[in-house]
Amino acid sequence: MELLIKNGFVYDPINGVNGEKMDVAVRDGKIVGRVDETRAKKIDASGMIVMPGGVDIHCHIAGSEVNTGRLLRPEDHFKDFERKTSKTRSGVGRSIPSTFTTGYRYARMGYTTIMNPSMPPLEAKHTHEELNDTPMVDKATYPLLGDWWFVLEYLKEGKIEECARYVAWMMTTTKGYAIKIVNPGGLEAWGSGRNVNSIDDQVPYFGITPREIVRGLCKVNKLLNLPHTIHVHTNNLGKPGNYVTALDTMKCVEDLASDNKPAIHITHCQFCAFKGSDWRTLRSGAEEIAKYVNNHSHVTLDMGQVIFTDTTTMTADGPFQYTLYELSGNKWVNHDVETETTSGIVPFRYRRKSYANAIQWSIGLELALLVRDPWKIFMTTDHPNGGPFTSYPRIIAWLMSKKARDATLKRINPRARNRSLLPSIDRELTFYELAIMTRAGQAKALGLKDKGHLGIGADADIAIYNINPETTDPSRKYKTLRKAFKQASYTIKRGETVVKNGEILKHVEGATMWLDMLVSDPIKITDEIKRRFKEYWTVEYENYPVTEDYVEVSHPISVEADV
């Protein structure tokens, strides 16, 4: 199967291609130097933008938490449903679309790789079942390890290598991709109705601090040579004044970074960039965070942009979700996952006229625009916490057009408007920078070698958008821009055209990527471990691992560890 995409304006930041008019050749699902022009299928992309397929570093799309959210919110689905067609299956939307619809909607926007960021190891099977049912995109999932008792016990005793062996075992056992840390220590404390308020608070019973957990797992991450850094949701998330905690978390691994490589990814940073002492005095801490990130190279961020809409918040951060329930008075779910983590779900509506919500909206964009290097900050909404992923085109418009920002600024809470830094920021992203923030940077941060670029040998995941960068000025014509990115003209997955003008042409299964850890001295499943399973968990050890045949389209990535 050969394919030739002709005359498009190609944006491929990893290979330094900035809007050059060139052809992209594909053979057998990979990008190649050239193909036989007479035999190859041709796509005329003249006047269009060609980019690598989009990569989303953080979106809650599968697992028990997401599914409970779906069950909790029938009213979220009933106005937004898709009928089945001859190619696609039926499904429902909005803030928490059903699995198939999630895949189709991502593909329609030109996204081809997405990462599910929070999987309690105990629910790994459920998560993989749902990932199997998410078509059109390649995906991976991060197990939550920051509050796992085994990790806490070994870190308390200072046995980093032992801890690394267990983390490696867990990564392969749950078919995970990266270490996810949520409110380190806080979730364990929540099990006894408490929380931690700074990175130096003690975790009850274990007697270690969030700082030690983050540093410990950062060292583990390095020992194991994992492709991504630790993926951290900070302590005190969603509390005014928490930008200090976020900065402390970044600072605490400063010395662990080497060769200018990132050592920590602070996720949905908007939610941890609040300044002020309470909700009434809430201010943006984006300036401080951006200043730190601009001066250091060991941190990457993602935005966690808030959209003014009705959405469903869901995180593993049980105590934060409880606070959110108390704030909103909405229906809620809060759950303790045995020895591993907690979780919570609360439907929430971000309102333009609410001071706090308008400030949050502003913080996300300020972060994205004040961090100078687009390789350090990525575009997300923390789907569905800040808003559904289907609103990405709106964020693109805000990032690329001051006019679009001003149009929204006019309609938000006036007090928040006066305090927003956005009127003073003139920066407008170029298509090149946008390609970094939405695909290249994310793929690089995730260590995905074959994704996010169009170099020879890369996976032929390509998105083509119908907007001409020579004739259309995105800063003035932001509505055209929004429309173009809402509906990709073509989405090409592994060399096959799967979407054309927003219509799914073909249902393809995406692969599930997971890390096959090669450890020189792997842990042995002794009777002692089985005893602990019996004692701590409600499941037996035998039922715990996700075997490879459980993953329908399995794409293991071998990683050689230093332990």
Partner 1 sequence: MINLYSLREFRFPILAECISPDLFQGKNRKEIEELKIWEGNKQKSLSELFKVEENRKEQQQDETIITIHGDVSKLGRIGVHMTSGEIAIQGDAGMHLGEEMEGGKITVRGNVGGWAGSMMKGGTIEIHGSAGHYLGAPYRGSGKGMRGGRIIVYGNVGNDAGAYMKKGLVKIYGNVGQFAGLRMRNGTIYVEKNCEGRVGACMTRGKIVVGGFLKSVLPTFTIESIKKKVKIEENEIVKGPLYLFLGDLTENGKGKLYVSKDKNPQLRNYESLL
User: Which string of DSSP letters, residue by residue, matches 332-367?
Assistant: -EEEEETTTEEEEEEEEE--TT-HHHHHHHHHHHHH
Q: Are strands 490-493 and 462-465 parallel, antiparallel or unpaired?
A: antiparallel
Nearer to partner 1, 294 or 328 (CB): 328
Q: Which two three-digit tokens encode residue 285? A: 């801490």
Nearer to partner 1, 92 or 269 (CB): 92
CB of 75 to partner 1, least distance (A): 3
Nearer to partner 1, 86 or 192 (CB): 86
d(CA 233, CA 228): 15
Nearer to partner 1, 331 or 530 (CB): 331
CA nearest neighbour of 242 among 297, 183, 192: 183
Q: Give the number of C-alpha atoms closer than 13 A to the C-alpha of residue 78, restricted to the C-beta side.
A: 5
Nearer to partner 1, 330 or 554 (CB): 330
Beta bridge partners of 345: 314, 333
CB of 83 to partner 1, least distance (A): 8
Q: Which two three-digit tokens encode residue 138? A: 């390649």
d(CA 397, CA 382): 18
Nearer to partner 1, 73 or 486 (CB): 73
Tell me the Cα Rg of the chain: 22
User: Residues, the chain, total?
Assistant: 563
Residue entry with tokens 């850094």: 229
CB of 500 to partner 1, least distance (A): 23
CA nearest neighbour of 363 among 275, 442, 475: 275
CA nearest neighbour of 68 among 252, 314, 348, 266: 314
CB of 84 to partner 1, least distance (A): 9
Provide the H-helix boundaries in 186-317: 186-190, 210-223, 243-252, 286-295
CB of 78 to partner 1, least distance (A): 6
Instruction: Supply the angle between the helices 392-400 and 402-409 in degrees, to the nearest 10.
Output: 110
Give me the residues that bind partner 1 (CB under 8 A), please: 72-76, 78, 330-331
User: Which string of DSSP letters, residue by residue, matches 364-397?
Assistant: HHHHHHHSS-TTSEE---TBTTSS-GGGHHHHHH
CB of 73 to partner 1, least distance (A): 6
Q: Between the CA atoms of 416, 420, 426 and 431, what dihedral angle is there, to the nearest 10 degrees?
A: -80
- Helix, strand or coil, per DSSP, at residue 92: strand
Asked if residue 164 lies in contact with residue 172, where contact means CB atoms within 8 angstroms, the answer is: no
Nearer to partner 1, 70 or 105 (CB): 70
CB of 74 to partner 1, least distance (A): 4
d(CA 252, CA 322): 27
Nearer to partner 1, 79 or 524 (CB): 79
CB of 87 to partner 1, least distance (A): 17
d(CA 264, CA 376): 11
CB of 312 to partner 1, least distance (A): 11
d(CA 289, CA 366): 10
Classify residue 165 by burial, with Cβ atoms within 10 Å: 0-12, 13-18, 19+: buried
Q: What are phi and psi of 43, to 5 degrees?
A: -120, 125
Q: Which two three-digit tokens encode residue 334? A: 């809060």
d(CA 199, CA 238): 15
CB of 65 to partner 1, least distance (A): 17
CB of 71 to partner 1, least distance (A): 9
Nearer to partner 1, 65 or 162 (CB): 65
Nearer to partner 1, 50 or 72 (CB): 72
What number of H helices and E strands is found in the chain? 19, 26
In sequence order, the 6+-apart residues with CB closer than 8 A to the CB of 526 are none
Q: Are strands 299-302 and 283-284 parallel, antiparallel or unpaired?
A: unpaired
CB of 79 to partner 1, least distance (A): 9
CB of 77 to partner 1, least distance (A): 9
Nearer to partner 1, 77 or 175 (CB): 77
Nearer to partner 1, 71 or 525 (CB): 71
CB of 72 to partner 1, least distance (A): 7
Nearer to partner 1, 80 or 496 (CB): 80
Nearer to partner 1, 347 or 441 (CB): 347
